[in-house]
């Protein structure tokens, strides 16, 4: 089971339409995200949170994208496309990438947490739930496989992570730099993030009752439950398309000029 929060407005991308509906090499980010999820072979159902005015568009885009063929040439962990590292995310057999992946679309909320909660609320029976930003629409199958493999090994919460490359400093509100953070202890966090369903539900329940404590991702909500979050290697191709430059980099990935 995969939740795709896709209800953001894309303010920083400023492309004139909500970000998930912005074209990337001729197809929307949402289409790329759904196709990538289906191609991973480890997703058996998808719930999308969309802007209220675009629910039907999201459904049509996603159902078309879900018909994409299975197999993933970009999966270094799984070069023969056999999905050897994968396990089914909700207990049934892994799908082989076809329209058999059912798509549901719900209306998202005012922020990402609310959108994920809206999607989570309609999840039927599922032991494991992955949450994946539409904005990380080029995530390779290998990342899905690593997340699902860690869940299969018993983790309750899993996030793909990458090391920091920049030097990171703390600063005052006035802009004075006051100190270094230890870069070796820092990670950049990506999606899909994977959870035992009951853990994710409990994390969102806590958020509803104590909304003051903010977290910008689902793993952050789970950390508040004192549940260990396991990191697995992410991938630079899973970049979050945030600013116009990110869309240009993503185009290079799609056209094969950045392999
Ligand atoms: N998202 C969502 N509901 C919201 C806000 C965000 O479902 N109310 C989703 C976005 O569609 C995106 C993911 O959460 O797939 C990550 O959010 P972000 O990259 O910040 O996207 P936007 O909020 O659309 O962009 P911006 O912050 O620039 O407006
Ligand atoms: Mg946002």
Q: What is the domain-level CATH number for residue 219? A: 3.90.550.10
User: How many domains does the chain fold into?
Assistant: 1
**Mean pLDDT value of segment 61-70:** 82
CA of 165 from ligand 1 middle (Å) equals 24
DSSP state of 163: E
Residue 49 forms part of a structural domain: yes
Q: Give the residue carrying structure tokens 């599922």.
A: 126
CB distance 34 to 61 below 8 Å = yes
pLDDT exceeds cutoff 50 at 80: no
**Mean pLDDT value of segment 102-110:** 97
Residue 76 forms part of a structural domain: yes
**Mean pLDDT value of segment 8-27:** 97
| Residue 213 confidence class, pLDDT cut points 50, 70, 90 | low
ipTM over 0.95: yes
Task: Look at residues 167, 104, 140, 168 and name the one whose alpha carbon lies nearest to residue 232.
Answer: 140
Index of the ligand 1 atom closest to the CA of residue 242: 19
196 φ, ψ (degrees, to nearest 5): -65, 130
CA of 4 from ligand 2 middle (Å) equals 14
Using one digit for the tens of pLDDT, what is the confidence trace for 34-49?
A: 999 999 999 999 999 9
- Closest ligand to C-alpha of residue 110 is 1
Distance CA 176, CA 6 (A): 36
Residue 26 forms part of a structural domain: yes
Q: What is the pLDDT of residue 68?
A: 60
Distance CA 51, CA 205 (A): 23
**Mean pLDDT value of segment 21-46:** 97
pTM of the model: 0.89
Please tell me the residue having the least CA distance from ligand 1 atom 6: 8
Residue 112 forms part of a structural domain: yes
Residue 213, exposed/middle/buried by CB under 10 A (0-12, 13-18, 19+)? Answer: exposed
Index of the ligand 1 atom closest to the CA of residue 29: 15
Residue 138 forms part of a structural domain: yes
User: Cβ atoms within 10 A of the Cβ of 163, count?
Assistant: 11
Residue 127 forms part of a structural domain: yes
H or E segment to which residue 61 belongs: helix 55-65
- Domain housing 126: 2-254
Q: Examine residue 192 and say whether the peptide bond preceding it is cis (omega within 30 degrees of 0).
A: yes
Neighbours of ion ligand 2 (CB under 5 A): 8
- Ligand 1 neighbours, Cβ below 6 Å, are 5-13, 19-20, 49, 108-112, 115, 133-135, 240, 242
Q: Which residue would you say has higher pLDDT here, 257 or 102? A: 102
Residue 159 forms part of a structural domain: yes
Index of the ligand 1 atom closest to the CA of residue 19: 24
CA of 41 from ligand 1 middle (Å) equals 25
CA of 87 from ligand 2 middle (Å) equals 31
Q: What is the pLDDT of residue 104?
A: 96
Using one digit for the tens of pLDDT, what is the confidence trace for 150-181?
A: 999 999 999 999 999 999 999 999 999 999 99
User: Cβ atoms within 10 A of the Cβ of 77, count?
Assistant: 18
Distance CA 239, CA 246 (A): 8
| Residue 133 confidence class, pLDDT cut points 50, 70, 90 | very high
Residue 259 forms part of a structural domain: no
């Amino acid at each position: 089971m995969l939740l795709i929060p896709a209800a953001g407005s894309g303010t920083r991308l400023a492309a004139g339409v909500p970000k998930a509906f912005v074209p990337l090499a001729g197809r929307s980010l949402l289409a790329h995200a759904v196709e990538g999820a289906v191609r991973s072979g480890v997703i058996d159902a998808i719930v999308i949170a969309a802007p209220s005015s675009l629910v039907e568009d999201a459904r049509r885009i996603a159902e078309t994208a879900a018909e994409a063929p299975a197999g993933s040439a970009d999966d270094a962990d799984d070069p023969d496309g056999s999905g050897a590292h994968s396990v089914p995310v909700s207990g049934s057999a892994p799908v082989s990438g076809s329209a058999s992946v059912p798509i549901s679309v719900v209306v998202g909320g005012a922020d990402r947490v609310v959108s994920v909660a809206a999607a989570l609320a309609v999840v039927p029976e599922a032991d494991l739930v992955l949450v994946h930003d539409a904005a990380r629409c080029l995530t390779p199958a290998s990342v899905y496989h690593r997340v699902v493999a860690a869940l299969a090994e018993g983790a309750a919460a899993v996030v793909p992570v990458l090391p920091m490359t920049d030097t990171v400093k703390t600063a005052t509100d006035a802009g004075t730099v006051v100190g270094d953070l230890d870069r070796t202890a820092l990670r950049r966090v990506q999606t899909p993030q994977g959870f035992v369903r009951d853990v994710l539900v409990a994390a969102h329940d806590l958020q509803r009752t104590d909304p003051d404590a903010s977290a910008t991702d689902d793993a952050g909500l789970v950390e508040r439950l004192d549940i260990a979050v396991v990191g697995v290697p992410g991938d630079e191709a899973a970049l979050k398309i945030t600013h116009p430059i990110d869309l240009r980099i993503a185009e290079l990935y799609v056209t094969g000029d950045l392999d």
